[in-house]
Structure 1
Amino acid sequence: GEVLPGEPSDSGPEQGAVLGVVGVTRDDVLNVRARPGVDQDIVTTLSPTFDAVVAAGNARLVDGGVWYEVEVEGDTGWVSSRFVAHLGATTDVTAAVVAALGARPSAETVVALGEIVAGARSSDEPPSRITRTTVPEVDDDTGRVVYDVVGLGDDSVLGERLAVIAATDPSGDGFTVMAVEATAFCARGLGGEGLCL
């Protein structure tokens, strides 16, 4: 077969594991490349919330970064391991967010509110990568926005996707958090009930 860039890595997901795209901003895409490496040809692109990336069982270390071979809707290619994870269980973390902030947070916009929540769920050491993965949805009395927090200094839990559900303040000015749901990003795979291994 052809000689691929880099060297083999045994850190990748097993063949058949289903991964989701993580940590990609709402107006960007994840490139699936013909070979591992940032300068390789693009085979296809994936949206920030695409969740049907199937691992082919191969991983390679190229220029200090690990790449996974994947299959996506009939295409085979390689993605940077920084932008995919096993999507674990979704849990309600509203109480934890309120406790961390000392009160139920409010902000002028849903986006600003999401940033406050993501900040409360992120780590300083190492600094988490925070990305907004959806355009905010706002109707008369509620709003919703999704943020990804990647990099929590934990070798099991890579991060989480935070769906922030907000209510407009009765005064009509600004938004207050109603609920926060966190979907775990797992590094090594899923155990029972969607918990990270």
Structure 2
Amino acid sequence: MHLIAFFCRTSNLLRFVVAVVPQVLKRLQDAGITLNKDKCVLHKQSVEFLGHVVSANGVSADPVKIKALAQLTPPGDVLEVRSFLGMANHLAKFLPGLSQLTKPLRDLLHHDADWCWGEPQQKSFDSVKEALTTTPVLVHYDPRSHLTVSADASSYSLGAVLLQETSGKRVRRLRITVTHRNRTTLRPDRKGGARP
């Protein structure tokens, strides 16, 4: 599956359609790529792609994926834990602190861990599902905006968020999220330790 998507601000739409789209079509033609007009979609406000909804406002998680995750019952074995974590990790950019939230679940994946679904695992499972129901819309990067990177680390996870400042009608600066990143530290990483 191939996707070529164009998003532009409404005020620039006519100039964009007249200037950019023909250039892209010409380059595709020069490369010997033929488009199927029945599969081309024009003038859409948003596009669903790989579990995400992309629009002029930004990128959000696909509500269908969120609903499917929210309706899951607690895992009954390690394979189901892996499956749940895989689905959650696909949406990690929308979930700040995911690696911390999922630590009790990830502990079940260690080769020497005994299966024990207790209160910490249930709380972790429920917290991830709750976090998924309130996922933010991640804005598109604006090279003219001031950016702030905020990072945090513990002995078992790393996290960072890229914030972009924007001014509203009241000239109030608001930091909006461009993306989140989470990573679980591996045992070799922990030898040095995270220090403030």
Question: Do they superpose with TM above 0.5?
Answer: no
> Per chain length, whose mean CA-contact separation is higher, i.e. which structure has more relative contact order (CA < 8 Å, sep 6+)?
1
Larger Rg over CA atoms: 2
Structure with more helix by fraction: 2
TM-score range, shorter chain: under 0.3
